Every structure is written in structure tokens, then in C-alpha cells.
Amino acid sequence: MRDLAANPDLLSLNTATVRERWTLPQIIEGCARHEVRAIAPWRDQVAACGLDTAARLIRTHGLRVNGYCRGGMFPAADAAGRARASEDNRRAVDEALALGAECLILVVGGLPAGSKDIAGARQQVKDGIAALRDYAHPQKLPLAIEPLHPMYAADRACVNTLAQANDLCDSLGEGVGVAVDVYHVWWDPALEREIARAGRRILGFHVCDWLVPTSDMLLDRGMMGDGVIDIPRIRRWVEATGYSDCVEVEIFSAGNWWKRDPDEVLRTVRERYVTVC
């Protein structure tokens, strides 16, 4: 298992972690101040400052873009909706390539409005990823399926376990992998086995913590060390597959960390990366 204290460059900041008080250019400057060498930016933040500006700032600061957030949201109620999703996903691939991102994270989407057909939604997800892979793979951009906790099955992602994501990878083949986010998968009794099964297909490892109680389904993630997830145990399983990429900190916290001075957040992230992860 890697010694994170000896590997400070493996820390990546998912830019959502400080999104409330800083723009993307401010985040990039903040990363430079705190010697964070990798980021995973979000599309809306990139759009707000402009793709060319974002790409230039990232290059100027020598930042690694270990992932781009995000593509997905494949299921739709009709063919026109699916075509819109497909077009938007191709744009996400183009942006990821312009930023030099190492993969495109996929949050695959849930049920179309009015639908109760989760099996149908999952089929649409599979078809959507297959089509996007045919666009991204020739351009050497891998797609990372991120399974989300089952509480998001209706509205965000109907891929809810690593086993499901691995099944998709098995049937889709090259150009598709997974992102392991401890927040979404820590509870899964099959996690150790499924991480081993994912093997070299693991394209991202995201950390935060599960707070007890959790007050908001989406925006109450904890700082590493403040909750119940045994992060080093999961990291050990991930690294046993040969994973050698970033440890990405991704915290949505409307009531706590988003309200704090982002420099304080980055100092805490840097410290917990070493002491907790």
C-alpha cells in the first residue's frame, strides 16, 4: 500500500469540494498555493470560465486532470431526449480531451420522468455507454462508470453497485472502466471481491466520509475522518489491483465545508489525506 505522506502529488481535488466560494480560476490558484497537483473539474465550472481559459490555466499551472465530471444521464422518455443526451455526452468527451483529462466520469442517470421501469433505464444506460464508448475510445479517452449509492437510483444513477458496473465493463469491453467512490460503495458486502474483479479497470478512487446521521441525501458528505468509512481498508483493496493513480477528495457539504474559507478546506484536505486516507 502506498505511503501517502511520501506521495503528496497523488492528492487530487474534485473541484466541487470548494465550488461554493471559488470559481475554477480561483480553485486552480488555490491548488497551486496548497501544492495540489491534480484536479477533477466539473463541466459547469469549466463553462463558466470558458473551455479555452480553463485549459490554458490548467496547462500553465502544470495540473494533472485525473478525471472530468461528468458525462452520463443517458435514460430519457423518448428518442429525442436520448439524442440530446448523446449529443451532450459527445461534447463532454470533446471538453475532456481539450482539458487533457485522463478519463470522463459517468453518472449514468436514473428513471426518465414518469417512468417506473428501472430495468428499461438500465438498458438505456448500457446502450448509451456503448455508443459513447464508440466515440471516445478511438480518441483514447476512457469512460469511468461511477456506481452511486442506491438512494440515488431514481434520480441520478441506476448503476448502484460495483458488481453492476463490472458487469457493464465485461459486456462493453475496451474503453470502459469504473470509478470507486467510497461514499457510494463502502456499505457493500461484496466490495472487496468486486474491487479485485474490477482490477486494472479502476480509473478513479474518490474519498470523503459517511456522516451519522446524514442530514441531506446529496449535500452532506463528510471530511475524511469525520464519519464511519474505513478508507485505508478500501484503498488497500484498490491498490492491490495495481491502481497507481490519484486519491481524489470529493466533498459536497452545503451545511459545513462549503461555508468555510476554501483555504481552510484545502489545508484540512491536505492534512486528512495523510492522517486518515
Q: Write down the least CB distance from residue 156 to Zn ion, Å.
A: 11
Whole-angstrom Cα distance, residue 202 to residue 206? Answer: 11
Nearer to Zn ion, 76 or 250 (CB): 250
Q: Write down the least CB distance from residue 117 to Zn ion, Å.
A: 26
Whole-angstrom Cα distance, residue 112 to residue 155? Answer: 8
Q: Write down the least CB distance from residue 16 to Zn ion, Å.
A: 9
Which cell numbers hold the place of 167?
A: 458487469
DSSP element (H, E) containing 11: strand 11-14
159: amino acid identity, one letter: V
Nearer to Zn ion, 226 or 250 (CB): 250
Q: Write down the least CB distance from residue 250 to Zn ion, Å.
A: 5
Nearer to Zn ion, 82 or 272 (CB): 272
Closest by alpha carbon to 248, among 276, 219, 208?
Answer: 208
List of residues contacting Zn ion (CB under 5 A):
181, 206, 250
Which cell numbers hold the place of 231?
A: 478508507
Closest by alpha carbon to 18, among 242, 198, 249, 277?
Answer: 249
Nearer to Zn ion, 82 or 245 (CB): 245
